Structure 1
Amino acid sequence: MKAAINRFSAWVVNHAMIMWVIMAAFTLFFAIGLRTVDIRTVFSDLLPKDDPYVKVFSDHPNFGNPLTMTVMVKRKDGKIYNSETLKKIWNLTRDIDLAPGVDHDTIISITTEKARYAEATPLGVNMQPVMGDRVPTTPEELEDLRRRIEQSPNAKTFLVSRDESAAVIQATFLESKVDWGKAFAFVQNLVEKARDKDHEVYLAGQPALIGWVYKLRAQIGWIFIATFCALTVVLALYMRNFGGTVTPVICSVVAGIWGFGLAGWIRSPIEPLLLVVPVLLVARTFSHCVQYSERYYEILAHVRNKKKAVEICMSVMMVPSVFGIITDFLGITLIAMAPIPAMERFALFAGWWAIAIIPNGVILISLLLLALPTPKNIDKLVGQDTGLHGAIRNWLLALAKITYGKPAFLTAGFFAVLAVAATYLAIQIKIGNPVEGSNVLFPDSEYNMAVKAINRNFPGVNTLEIVIEAKPGAGQKWRVARSEEASFVRTKLQALIESSEHPPRATLSFTDYMMEGNRLFSGGSPKWLPLDPDPQAVNAAGTSVTMGSNPKNFANVSDYAFQNSTVSLWYADNKQETVDNALATAKKAVDAVGVDHKDFTVRLGTGLIALQQSMNNVTERFHYRILGALSLVIVILASLVYRSVIGGLLLIIPVLLSNFLLFAAMNIVGVGLDINSLMVAAVAVGVGIDYDIYLLSRICEEYHAHDGDWKRTIAASLSTTGKAILFTATVVLVGLTPWYFMSDLKFMSDMSILLLILVTINMIMALVVLPLLVWFIKPKFATRTDLIVGESYDLSDFTAKGSEIDSMMAKV
């Protein structure tokens, strides 16, 4: 293997022009794909394919569809029963009907025919819209509208607030036909125009949340630019030469072109919320390149021959570089274990980008170092003076002293206590949404303020649906939704849930309409609300409220054929505690009425509450599976590379401790673990092990140069590769910092601060915990001379001798 690596390195150096042509051709190919890069949210792809709640949603998308926008118009100084406010509601309702991608049949407000009231007439029950074909203007007309709404339990509860100061308009969008950015911009523009000194207008719902992410997408581009500039400036200040500065920049740009280019070629949408991961990948490309450049400068300082130095550097760095990048790749691709299409697509996109770092971080950087002028500050870069690099080296030598000898026991005790505390906090991390509204945006964002305002005035925007699904062939004589058994099952479900320990704010089913028709048909007294236990009486009640009405008017509680129906439950928020209580209560009620009936099946459930839980179920099922699978693969690969299981354990212990510390930090700062944060955390685990790989490989090299003296080996490794680790971690920290301060997306800020914490933890694990483990274990594999991570060339003259290390250690 060593001989093959040596031959390949020599071939690349001796045939640089051929390699330039190959790299240019690939880059041009992927650059063409940039034209069709698609950054957008596909809501259905965020849902797990195998979850029972998602299957209910797929079978009955008209019940509790989360792709619904809710607009609330609130009068500041009184009630809505005035021509000005009603005109505003009327216009908004009809203007929203023009929004791109809207499902016209779903729009509802008190100004549409779906908002109906019932009254008894000599000919039977008459169902009419609460508002006619124009806005009422006279006091008599306004009072008549108010009376009609009072006679409409549905409108009074769900379309007009309890204090009569607000009304809502709801519209569902067709995912297959909608561009979320355009739809949101259209409706948001209507909302902004409708606001005035007398009215507050709010917009909420999942499409509005997606729209805000789209609107802030442009901001992400500017943060990318700020991040890239910050990385370049820090790199320039550290390297102080042209070649050392531009090589990581060029390699990062080319790797990014390859990554985004493939996504463009295969037309695979990229989720906007996960664009913090490409920043991490850019920073990791910088990191690999800095590690590579630092080693190149070390070798060049001794051989004083650029071509030979590039060849040796490629031979020495190829295996640890490729091994480190493969762990990055595995950390990304293993998230595809979760059965969520968006995660699978993202794993392909980011995983390919990670793999693209190999040719760019090994071959392209070698070609660049070969082509660019030899830097004049090599001695300063390798730390042979008292400047910045010398100061860093001396600090690392001082740090090394706590990882061996007697101080090592105190250090080990500290990290043992830290590991116990981190594990305790990590296992208590909350899965799901910890806030009212969305944790994607800040609490004071316009969206979250809208959610809170609507929740204060109405049952809310968060529903849970229990579907009464007709069996095939059922209901030939009577429509199943109108049947006696279905009606009483819905009634019992509502009664059980409303009387539970955690009742919803409101419930609604087709039975409620039937009961109102029964009351009116029987003379109008409330005592006639309950339906008689007689099939013909029940069917008569159903017929009385639907006769002469468009079936679409009941689309929120029944399908157009009155076969399938639903029990809708409204909750004040979608915090995880609320979600857990709602589902537990609903499941208990479903168990009480039974799942299987003669003509129908009771299915729990759909709606925002159930779909949110479906994604949380995946997070709960897979976050430890992904971590476990990644850990196992790392141990296997490391065991093969270092020809010892001990090598795998030395690498995985710091990684696991880092992960538990990350989860502990998330618990402390109140960031819940969900699908998006799981993907970021999984990527970070694979990325974090790079530092340990580079340092452990250097320890194997230095062991032989220092005649098996573990103290000198650890000190020499930290003063060389440790210096590159410290700087590359700093580069990553600088790259992520702008996301915390500049992003209006709370998710981006949260993920950036967590990644900042994780990078810092990974750096400490590499610089302290790994040397500490090496000191206590003293791995025998480091004594081998045939490891592929060891030297492929005799570099015994290229490293500090034991006496030199002793002298440097004495100075600090």
Structure 2
Amino acid sequence: MKKTLTSQIETALFRHKLVVLMLFVITSVFFTYQATQIKLDASFTKNIPLNHSYMKTYLKHRANFGGANNILISVCDTHGDIFNAEFFNALKGVHDKLFFIPGVDRIQVKSLFSPSTRFVEVVEDGFAGGPVIPADFQPSEEGLGVVKSNIEKAGIVGSMIADDYSCAMVKTALLDLNPDTGEKLDTLELAQTLEQDVRQSFENENISVHIIGFTKMVGDVAKGAKGVVLFFALAIGITAIMVYIFSHSIRLTILPIFCSLVAVVWQMGMLSSLGFGLDPMSILIPFLVFAIGVSHGVQMINSVVKKVSSGLDAAAAAQASFAALLIPGGVALLSDTVGFLTLLSIDIGIIKELAITASIGVAMIILTNLVLLPILLSYTKIKANAKVGVLSEDSVFWTFIASFAKRGRARVILFITAVLFAVGFYQGQGLKIGELHAGAPALHESSRYNQDTFLITDRYAISVDYMSVIVETTADACTSFDIMSTIDRFQWEMENVPGVQSAVSLSSISKLVNAGYNEGNPKWRIIPRNQQTLVQSIAQVPSSSGLLNNDCSVMPVILFLEDHKAQTINTVVDAVKAAAVDLGSEQVKFTLASGPVGVMAATNEAVEAAQLPMMIYVYGAVIVLCLISFRSVRATLVVVLPLYVVSTLAQWLMTALDIGLTVSTLPVIALGVGIGVDYGIYILSTMSLKLNSGMKIHDAYLAALKERGSAVLITGLTLAIGVSTWFFSDLKFQVDMGILLTFMFLVNMLAAIIILPALSAFLWADDKQEKIG
């Protein structure tokens, strides 16, 4: 049935070649136009697991306490302290400019110039206070002296003012929609606005401006991602050289590259047609599609040239090659596609988009490199004495490699493989979930964004890495001593957790105010038991402070962490969960989480939860497709087992190189498996024909190497060299992906030509062959 269907498709396509070519031309014109309409698209919500319990809490209370999509701008004096007219003019300019940028939550804009930034002091009659910067402020020596005094009274040194008085902070939260247009906030446009209208407008030799936040980080990633175009051009050049070395023909070099570029254009056009943009974090996928396309194109050229050398003309050779490669090539590409689609199981928008982008691209390759390429080759003049490959069929290298299919050497190969697997499995247990380094992990430590982050962290007492634990209770709970003391106990326990720098809540503010009412005596820094006194201690704390909602039924405890490393987050989250069980009740519930670190914690847990199911799905899909294709359990095992060994070694590599399992590295495992299976399928498809004809294992494998070996080698090297150029990227996550993909492309290729035959030597007995396929 399979042969009949293949024959029918083959006959229909090659009998109507001109019609098929015209359809390709028309489709290409349409998708080229659509591809020109695609835009970079990034949003905060795509990067978080919206259905995670932490994120449900975050979204539920975001309106009252702000979200995690914040912007922090530190304005610094480069020569001394902030108390000079030029600095205050710059600070007010930054505040006003930020206030009027579309998409900024104006209620949340906070700085020294905000009316809500107030000081309170204990005086003889009780309390006195007012805005830190008076309404009649003038940046004179007297006016600056008043502001400095008010800053100290307000207790904002370390939070809004740098510890050494060299900087002042302006911060805000961002909306999901642009209020001017009603459309989704354009993150990249906002990042550019912050750079041009804020940093460049106010930064000079005396004033420096430092901006951090998700939006600015994504903007810097998008800026670095433009360098991908250079890497793409470099990859095309490297690929062209490698294909020419293999084919020894300019014409045969151009055709697979052209067809692979068509696949990329179709991919971009299809994404645009479906309403998707291209996220900076998935901008690398078109390159992978191009590389995968070329690898399959090399297999087609290899087959056509060898059939021409055997006596067929180009048209007959192309038709025969199409028939021979439709099943193995189709199964390999379907394995790639299904492997990518397994990423849809991960409940994070950016990974789902990556899965869709990659799957569409590979689906396009099925048409361009398995259909369009052989049709174009049928019109190509190919000399009867043409040769392909980097090694001749009589090379001693193939004879040496083929010896791995003999049981003597196979035992050694399998023993070494078992040792490597055991060590890799053990070492891979140390793989950490989440970020392992300070700063934005997508960018290098030396990047402007991370340098801004380090400056803010160094000069301010509070960390930019904070998590809000939401305390849900009854209305007017802040007037209850029992509830407030429970929150205070929880805060005290959290302040003593390793990794927590400091904490703040309404209960801690209440204690400070109560002491103030008692002449500032630290002995009175307690929560008042008397309800009227308790009400007095929290009466001056507005809901805009972010410490309570309007009816005081929700009060966050804000934990400032030393960093956002995976170990720190895990330690704090575990402590919060334990304390929530110990101190929580029907009246008081401590729920995780809001704030930037709350989002990271949810993302880490989503990645950890998705790791095993994703691997099961991707390997399950590969196993099913191999069983359908080869109809043999043994054949499936010799293809899949080497892949699993390489995946295990890749986790060891990540542990050794201190690369955490994150949103950007998790998909690499599926990508590596999906693409790595191609080598084994192509080798085994040829090997199976020889076995079915009665050849022994060693002879069948040697024949497969002579026919497919050079193509497999050049494919693995081309893919690996192409992604190895990513080592020089401005984006740290691209460097990490480049390292992992280079490893997986190379080692999967080696595993296919070394471990596969060694397994075959023991799974098949020469005197009792099993039919394959």
Asked if TM exceeds 0.5, the reply is yes
Partner Cα distance (1:56, 1:414) in 2: 50
Query: Is residue 724 of structure 1 aligned with residue 711 of structure 2?
Result: yes
- Kindly state the Cα deviation for residue 277 of structure 1 after the two structures are TM-superposed: 2.6
Unaligned runs of 5+ in 2: 179-184
- For the 8 Å contact 2:319–2:378, the answer to whether it is kept is no
Is 1:82 aligned with 2:87? Answer: no
| Residues 481 and 531 in structure 2, CA contact (< 8 A), matched pair in contact too | yes
- 2:146 pairs with 135, 144, 147, which one? 144
Residue in 1 that maps onto 2:181 = none
Q: 1:740 aligns with which of 727, 739, 742?
A: 727
For residues 782 and 76 of structure 1, the distance between their equivalents in structure 2, rounded to whole angstroms, comes to 81
Give SS of 1:506's match: strand
Q: Deviations over 1:267-326 (max 9, x none)?
A: 123321122232112101100111111011111211332222122111111100110001
CA contact (8 A) 1:380 1:389 kept: no
- Amino acid paired to 1:535: Q
Residue of structure 2 aligned with 1:455, choices 454, 457, 464:
457
Within 1, Cα distance between the matches of 2:36 and 2:487? 53
Q: Verify the 8 A CA contact 1:695 1:718 in the aligned structure 2.
A: yes
Q: 1:523: Cα distance to partner?
A: 4.4
How far apart, in 1, do the equivalents of 2:312 and 2:664 lie?
A: 49
Task: In structure 2, give the amino acid aligned to 1:775.
Answer: A
Choose 631-640 or 257-266, whichever is displaced more. Answer: 631-640
Aligned to 1:601: 589
Q: Offset of 1:664 from its aligned partner?
A: 1.2
Corresponding residue of 1:439? 441
1:183 match: 190
- Give CA-to-partner distance per residue, 1:61-102, whole Å, 9 cap, x none: 253622112122333443323333333322222222233421
- Paired residues of 1:241 and 1:377 also in contact (CA < 8 A): no
The answer to whether residue 66 in structure 2 is matched with residue 59 in structure 1 is: no
Aligned residues: 763
Code of the residue aligned with 1:508 in structure 2: it is: V
| Structure 2 CA distance for aligned equivalents of residues 772 and 33 of structure 1 | 48
Counterpart residue number, 1:158 = 159
Match of 1:564 in 2: 554
Residues 134 and 409 of structure 1: is their aligned pair in 2 closer, same or farther, counting only changes over 3 Å? farther
1:676 alignment partner AA: S
Structure-2 change in CA distance of 1:297 and 1:558 (3 Å): same
Tell me by how many angstroms 1:782 deviates: 10
The SS at the match of 2:165 is coil
**1:354 alignment partner in structure 2:** 362
Deviations 1:517-568 (A, max 9, x none): 434444444444323112222223222444xxxx53x1x2233554432111
SS at match of 2:469: strand
TM-score, normalised relative to structure 1: 0.89
Displacement of 1:136 in angstroms is 4.4
In the alignment, residue 572 of structure 2 is paired with which amino acid? A
Counterpart of 2:422 in structure 1 is 420
Give 1:763 shift. 0.7
Structure 1 portions without partners, runs of 5+: 789-812
CA distance, structure 2, for counterparts of residue 221 and residue 665 of structure 1: 28
1:114-137 residue CA offsets vs partner (Å, 9 max, x unmatched): 221113578864442111236543
Distance 1:264 1:90 in 2: 42
Answer yes or no: is the 8 Å Cα contact 1:497–1:503 preserved in 2. no
TM-score normalised by L of structure 2: 0.93
Q: Indicate conservation of the 8 Å contact 1:461/1:570, yes or no.
A: yes
Distance between the aligned counterparts of 1:558 and 1:227, measured in 2?
A: 55
Aligned equivalent of 1:661? 649
More displaced 10-residue stretch of structure 1: 726-735 or 754-763: 726-735
Q: Supply the distance in 2 between the matched residues of 1:766 and 1:666 (Cα, whole angstroms).
A: 22
- Output one character per residue of 1:718-739: Cα deviation in whole Å (capped at 9) or x when no partner: 1221111001112212321332
Residue 489 (structure 1) aligns with: 486
User: 1:802: which partner in 2?
Assistant: none
Residue of structure 1 in register with 2:598 after alignment: 610
Question: Which residue of 751, 755, 760 corresponds with 2:741?
Answer: 755
User: Does the aligned pair in 2 maintain the 1:337–1:626 contact within 8 Å?
Assistant: yes
Alignment check: 8 A CA contact 1:71 1:169 kept: yes
Matched, 1:214 2:222: yes
C-alpha spacing 1:377/1:526, structure 2 compared with 1 (3 Å):
farther
- Distance in structure 1 (CA, Å) of the matches to 2:740 and 2:213: 28
Letter matched to residue 634 of structure 1: V
**For residue 182 of structure 2, what is the aligned residue in structure 1?**
none
Identity between Structure 1 and Structure 2 (%): 21
Q: Distance in 2 between matches of 1:39 and 1:772?
A: 47
Q: 1-side partners of 2:147 and 2:548: how far apart? A: 26
Amino acid paired to 1:180: T
**What is the aligned counterpart of 1:363 among 340, 360, 371?**
371
**Within the alignment, does 1:299 sit opposite 2:307 as a pair?**
yes
Q: Which amino acid aligns with 2:565?
A: K
Matches of 1:266 and 1:134 in 2, distance apart?
A: 56
SS in 2 for 1:379: coil
My pick for the range that moved more, 410-419 or 722-731, is 410-419
Question: How has the CA–CA distance of structure 1 residues 781 and 696 changed in structure 2, closer, same or farther, with 3 Å as cutoff?
Answer: farther
1:216 counterpart SS class: helix
Q: Structure 1 residues 437 and 116, CA, compared in 2 at 3 Å: closer, same or farther?
A: same
Q: Counterparts in 2 of 1:573-652, with a 5 A limit?
A: 573-597=563-587, 601-652=589-640
Q: CA contact under 8 A between 1:466 and 1:603: conserved in structure 2? A: yes
Report how far residue 332 of structure 1 moved.
0.1
1:502 matched residue in structure 2: 498
Residues 100 and 179, structure 1, Cα contact 8 Å, conserved in 2: no
Output aligned runs, 1:237-248, within 5 Å. 237-248=245-256
CA distance in 1 between partners of 2:7 and 2:71 (Å): 62
Q: Write out aligned runs for 1:177-326 (5 A).
A: 177=178, 178-189=185-196, 190-326=198-334
Q: How does 1:630-709 map to 2 (within 5 A)?
A: 630-704=618-692, 707-709=694-696
Q: Which one-letter code corresponds to 1:734 in the other structure?
A: I
Deviates more, 1:447-456 or 1:89-98: 89-98
Q: Answer whether contact 1:127 1:545 (CA < 8 A) is retained.
A: no
Query: Structure 2 counterpart of 1:137, which letter?
Result: P
Amino acid in the other structure paired with 2:378: L
* Secondary structure of the corresponding residue to residue 36 of structure 1: coil
> Could you tell me how far apart the structure 2 residues matched to 1:466 and 1:337 are?
28
Letter of the 1:366 partner, please give it.
Answer: P
Distance 2:396 2:219 in 1: 52
Q: Which moved more, 1:399-408 or 1:608-617?
A: 399-408
Q: Determine whether 1:467 maps to 2:474.
A: no
- Residues 134, 709 of structure 1: CA spacing in aligned structure 2 closer, same or farther, 3 A cutoff? farther
Asked whether the 8 Å contact 1:9–1:311 carries over to 2, the reply is: yes
Select 2:536's aligned residue among 525, 533, 540.
540
Q: Is the 8 A contact 2:122 2:517 kept in 1?
A: yes
| Distance apart, 1:182 and its partner CA | 2.2
| Structure 2 counterpart of 1:772, one-letter code | A
Alignment CA distance shift 1:610-1:86 (3 Å) = same
Correspondences of 1:321-340 after superposition (within 5 Å): 321-340=329-348
> How far is the alpha carbon of 1:437 from its aligned partner?
0.9
Residue 772 of structure 1 pairs with residue 758 of structure 2:
yes
Aligned residues of 2:305 and 2:387 also touching (Cα < 8 A): no
Structure-2 change in CA distance of 1:480 and 1:334 (3 Å): same
Would you say the 8 A contact 1:333–1:347 is kept in 2? yes
Do 2:679 and 2:752's aligned partners in 1 also have CA atoms closer than 8 Å?
A: yes
Instruction: After superposition, give the CA deviation of every residue in 1:441-464 in whole Å (9 maximum; x if it has no partner).
Output: 111111111111111122111111
**CA 590–64 in structure 1, closer or farther in 2 if over 3 Å, else same:** farther
Distance (Å, rounded) in 2 between the aligned partners of 1:602 and 1:123 = 38
For the aligned residue pairs, the C-alpha RMSD in angstroms reads 2.4
SS in 2 for 1:400: helix
- Report the Cα distance in structure 2 between the residues aligned to 1:716 and 1:303, rounded to whole angstroms: 19
Alpha carbons 1:130, 1:149 under 8 Å: kept: yes
Q: Which amino acid aligns with 1:531?
A: I
Deviation at 1:209, TM superposition (A): 1.0
